[in-house]
Amino acid sequence: MITKTFKIGEYMKGGVCTVEINGKDIAVIAKEWDFTAGTKRTSNQSKAKEFDRVEVKSDDYTAYRQIREFLEDLTSHYFAEQIADYIKQHTNLIMA
């Protein structure tokens, strides 16, 4: 399983986004920043509380659109694109 946490901070609702890729399963998880772990980007946000998620299969032709819509509701176009690009690099996500 591939996991990456994006610590975006004030440019995203909640501030933290985690991507989990397990074969064809992709989960994009929005989390609230854990201030008990610190306020800097170097802080450990592994215990941040989840408040929303989207789960898709990489072979679903609407997967990319679902991920982008989910991310653009949470953050700016720039950060949504950065996260989606990371997912595309690590999967065979269909662009439809």
Burial group, residue 82, by CB count within 10 angstroms (0-12, 13-18, 19+): middle
Domain encompassing residue 25: 2-90
| Residue 95, domain member (yes or no) | no
Q: What domain count does the chain have? A: 1
pLDDT tens per residue, range 12-65: 999 999 999 999 999 999 999 888 887 888 888 888 899 999 999 988 889 999
| Residue 96, domain member (yes or no) | no
Residue 79, pLDDT above cutoff 90: yes
pLDDT confidence bin for 72, thresholds 50/70/90: very high
pTM (2 decimals)? 0.90
| Residue 39, domain member (yes or no) | yes
Give the model's pLDDT for residue 36. Answer: 85
